[in-house]
Structure 1
Amino acid sequence: MQLAVFILAYPLLWLVSRLPFTIIYLLSDGIYGLLYYVIGYRKKVVRENLALVFPEKSEKERLKIEKKFYHHMCDMFMEMIKTMGISKKEIQKRFTVTNMELLTNLEEKGINTMLMLPHYASWEWVLSLNLQIKSKGYGIYQKIQNKYFDKLVRQIRGKFNTTLISTKESRKILKAAKESKELLMVGIISDQSPMVGRAKYWTDFMGIVVPVHVGGEEICKVNDIVPVYLKVRKKKRGYYEGTFKIITENPTKVEDYKITDAFLRETEKSIREAPEYYFWTHKRWKHRNKAPKAVHDKDIVTSNTLR
């Protein structure tokens, strides 16, 4: 069944990836109308999330964010497919960086880095950064159940020399890379909601206490990797701009969970600046009422950068 689904879908995906962006976005507009007005894909989840996070906004204001988000989500989906056929020159034109020298300077010092980013704006095209670095680029990701689509995603995301590693194998592979003295740049999306039973840390995110993933921080501490927040801004349709910000230059000396807190504070700032570019279909706050009692008494972290 998995192979049959892949065989049916792949030719269409390949064809779409060869279309010009003008057609890509016309298709995106059509998909938006279908998903939003006809299917209503996860509309209830999106509305609940926006109401939780922005109780101060009117229903009309939240509806405006909602519609913009669905437009952006459809664009993101089409851009991901387009990555199959996009050239190096084109993607470098569409995903630029304001301060590439920050990462270059760390590389020149032989410092390994971890790019921590949320599900915001474009995380797919961040992979094009590998065209500008000397480090070995790794991307930590969740494997897809369909092994054929998983292989395709590996190929797409590995197009610009990124080596994808699953969450389960990441620690072993990165430890081996460190021991071989390989210069690394690791990318990880760190704003997912972990399983309650495995949650090690609960904290405030957008005004709501939830469990948070700490895997990125733990990898940084164990391997002495400098965590860097990558802020991505959508300049206009199909064009994105990234800016690096060092979270701490001494990860092994930072108190536990402070790196995670700092990452979340930066993520919050991005969301509040342009909320329509956050991925609201995720059930990010689904465990909000399950926090241990002691968690509610903790101080909310307000610092943005650690040194």
Structure 2
Amino acid sequence: MQRLLYILVYPILWLLSKMPMGILYFKSSALYILVYYVVGYRKKVVMENLALVFPQKTQRERNQIAQKFYKHLCDIIFETIKAFTISEKEIRKRFVVTNAEILDNYYENDRSILLMAGHYGNWEWSGILNKLMQHQAHAVYKPLDSQQFDALVKKTREHFGGIIVSNKKIVGVLFRKWKKGVKTLTYILSDQTPKAGAYKHRDTFMGIDVPVFTGTEELAKKLDFSVLYLKVEKEKRGYYTATFVPLADNPKEYDDFQITRMFFDALEIQIREKPEYYLWSHKRWKLRKRN
């Protein structure tokens, strides 16, 4: 069944990806009306999350954030589809790294990097990073159940030469390359929700007590990799900037979970400034501590 679905859907996605961005954004605007006003996709989850995080805001203010979020979400859907075939020239114009030169220092000093990021802005266009550095680029992902769609995701994210590795294999892959002296930069979405009972630490995220993913920090200390934060900002529709923000050059010198806290501090600043660009449709606070 999944194979049949893939056979039916893939040609449509490929044809969409070949369309100019202007047409895709026109379709995104139409999708927004359907998703927000007609279907109400995860609307209850979004409004509950916004109420939890911004209790001081009025209902009208939260509604305005939600509307802007859904417009952004629809843009992300079509930008992800565009990633199937987007050219390097076009994505370099639309996803601009402001300070790629700081990576040279890490490379010259024999430092591999773990790059922490959140579901903010556009995380699907980060594959262009591989073209901007000497490090060998990796990105961590959770494999999909469908083999066909999983292969499509990997192919899309490896469009510009990076290597996509499953979350269960990344430690072994990086350890082997570390032993061979290969310098790597590994992109990890670190605001994921750990499984119930499978986490080591709780902290606050946007002021709410929740389990937090600590695997990036633990891996950094184990392999002595530097840790950076990728600050992605949406400048206007279809255009983003990304900035490398150093968090911990020598992770073993930091207390347990301190680096994880630093990551969430950086992400929270962005969310509070422009909340509409965070992924509110996920149940990020479902395991929160309740009064």
TM-score under structure 1 length normalisation: 0.93
Match of 1:74 in 2: 74
1:107-156: per-residue Cα shift (whole Å, max 9, x none)? Answer: 22221011100000011111111111111111000101111000000000
Cα distance, 1:273 vs. partner?
Answer: 1.0
Match of 2:14 in 1: 14
Cα distance, 1:243 vs. partner?
Answer: 1.0
Cα distance, 1:91 vs. partner?
Answer: 0.3
Match of 1:37 in 2: 37
Cα distance, 1:289 vs. partner?
Answer: 2.5
**Superposition misfits of 4+ residues, deviation over 4 angstroms:** none
Contact 2:100 2:133 in 1 (8 A): no
Cα distance, 1:165 vs. partner?
Answer: 0.4
Cα distance, 1:290 vs. partner?
Answer: 6.2
Q: How does 1:97-136 map to 2 (within 5 A)?
A: 97-136=97-136
Match of 2:61 in 1: 61
Instruction: Tell me the SS of whatever aligns to 2:248.
Output: coil
State whether structure 2 residue 207 is matched by structure 1 residue 207.
yes
Instruction: Tell me the SS of whatever aligns to 1:217.
Output: helix
1:183-228: per-residue Cα shift (whole Å, max 9, x none)? Answer: 1000000001111201100001101000000111111111111010
Which amino acid counterpart does residue 154 of structure 2 have in structure 1?
A: R
Which amino acid counterpart does residue 116 of structure 1 have in structure 2?
A: M
1:274 and 1:15 mapped to 2: Cα distance?
Answer: 33
Instruction: Tell me the SS of whatever aligns to 1:186.
Output: strand
2:258 and 2:45 mapped to 1: Cα distance?
Answer: 29
1:6-32: per-residue Cα shift (whole Å, max 9, x none)? Answer: 000000000000000110001111111
Q: How many percent identity over aligned positions?
A: 46
1:231 and 1:67 mapped to 2: Cα distance?
Answer: 23
Cα distance, 1:97 vs. partner?
Answer: 1.5
Match of 1:284 in 2: 284
Change (3 A) 1:290 1:223: farther
1:243 and 1:98 mapped to 2: Cα distance?
Answer: 5
Equivalent residues, number: 291
1:103 and 1:19 mapped to 2: Cα distance?
Answer: 34
Match of 1:140 in 2: 140
1:222 and 1:97 mapped to 2: Cα distance?
Answer: 28
Contact 2:121 2:232 in 1 (8 A): yes
TM-score under structure 2 length normalisation: 0.98
Structure 1 stretches of 5 or more lacking a match? 292-307
Structure 2 stretches of 5 or more lacking a match? none
1:102 and 1:228 mapped to 2: Cα distance?
Answer: 11
Q: How does 1:1-307 map to 2 (within 5 A)?
A: 1-289=1-289
Root-mean-square deviation (Å):
1.0
Cα distance, 1:104 vs. partner?
Answer: 2.1
